[in-house]
């Protein structure tokens, strides 16, 4: 971290590499199909250029947040013109294509859905375990997920360069679609006494893990097929979400290898 002349602390690495700014620069990025994590727009600005950014971003499914000018100024004091775009460090994959590719090869898909995992280090650690174990894709929402920037890639030890990441507009509807495709939805939650080891992971499966604060949302729990927990014997009630993800993933791997 370093301190700017106005007293704000900034992450110099992020400042230099992870975002672009200015209406025309952002428009050019959108037109070029560059992967963009999210766009911040001055909520008090409604110029024709801003409207064009808004329309094009919506058509491409890029998350948009209308924010006060002060927030934009804290990111950069340069002439941002009310528009800042965070650039993704990866290219996103199509969920339908990932599932279809698995079925066409005679493989039972194993997907990992992350509900509101916002900590970049946790996200990177989960991605690393998932890639090493052979998970076929990560599923994340457009909003409410860790930014996939250079820090996330570094924390994942480069795994995010190889592991397909599918960004969907709504996790609930994505789960409903996956259930129609024949995937079993297994939520790892403390709201059950059923141990992880009793689930059958040999079938096409979506593993769901939730945020550190309040776990999996009730909406996603409501359409899950199974609920399992990782047994604990100590005084601390739960594992860090990245560790929990690794435990659940490798139980699935253990079962699948045992049935070959």
Residues in CB range of 90: below 8 A, 6 or more apart:
35, 148, 153, 160, 161, 165
- Per DSSP (E only), the strands in the chain are 2-3, 9-10, 19-21, 36-42, 64-67, 83-87, 110-115, 137-141, 165-168, 184-188, 205-210, 226-228
Residues in CB range of 107: below 8 A, 6 or more apart:
136
Nearest alpha-carbon partner for 146 in 34, 1, 37, 35: 37
| 228 beta partners | 188
pLDDT of residue 13: 40
Task: Give the pLDDT confidence of 121-130 residue by residue, as tens digits.
Answer: 999 999 999 9
Give the chain's domains with CATH numbers.
2-87 (3.30.1330.30), 95-258 (3.40.1280.10)
- pLDDT over threshold 80, residue 10: no
Task: Give the pLDDT confidence of 228-241 residue by residue, as tens digits.
Answer: 999 988 877 778 99
- Gap between the Cα atoms of 245 and 224, Å rounded: 17
| pTM for this entry | 0.80
CA distances from 254 to 30, 113, 134, 185, 188 (A): 43, 19, 12, 18, 17
- Gap between the Cα atoms of 156 and 47, Å rounded: 40
Collapsing DSSP to helix, strand or coil, 206 comes out as strand
pLDDT of residue 26: 92
């Amino acid at each position: 971290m370093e301190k700017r002349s106005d007293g704000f602390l900034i992450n110099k690495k992020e400042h230099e590499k992870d975002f672009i700014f200015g209406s025309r620069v952002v428009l050019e990025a959108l037109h070029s199909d560059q992967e963009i994590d999210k766009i911040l727009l001055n909520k008090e600005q409604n110029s024709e250029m801003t409207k064009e950014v808004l329309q094009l971003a919506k058509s491409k499914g890029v998350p948009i947040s209308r924010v006060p000018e002060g927030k934009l100024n804290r990111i950069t004091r340069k002439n941002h013109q009310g528009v800042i775009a965070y650039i993704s460090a990866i290219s996103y994959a199509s969920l339908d294509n990932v599932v279809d590719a698995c079925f066409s090869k005679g493989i039972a898909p194993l997907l990992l859905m992350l509900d509101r995992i916002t900590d970049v280090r946790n996200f990177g650690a989960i991605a690393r375990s998932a890639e090493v174990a052979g998970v076929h894709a990560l599923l994340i929402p457009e909003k409410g997920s860790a930014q996939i920037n250079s820090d996330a890639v570094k924390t994942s030890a480069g795994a995010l360069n190889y592991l397909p990441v599918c960004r969907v507009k709504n996790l609930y509807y994505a789960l409903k679609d996956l259930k129609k495709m024949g995937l079993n939805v297994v939520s790892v939650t403390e709201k059950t006494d059923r141990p992880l080891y009793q689930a059958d992971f040999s079938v096409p499966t979506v593993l769901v893990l939730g945020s550190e604060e309040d776990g999996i949302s009730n909406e996603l729990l409501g359409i899950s097929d199974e609920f399992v927990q990782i047994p604990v014997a100590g005084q601390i009630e739960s594992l860090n979400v990245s560790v929990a993800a690794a435990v659940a993933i490798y139980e699935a791997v253990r079962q699948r290898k045992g049935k070959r």
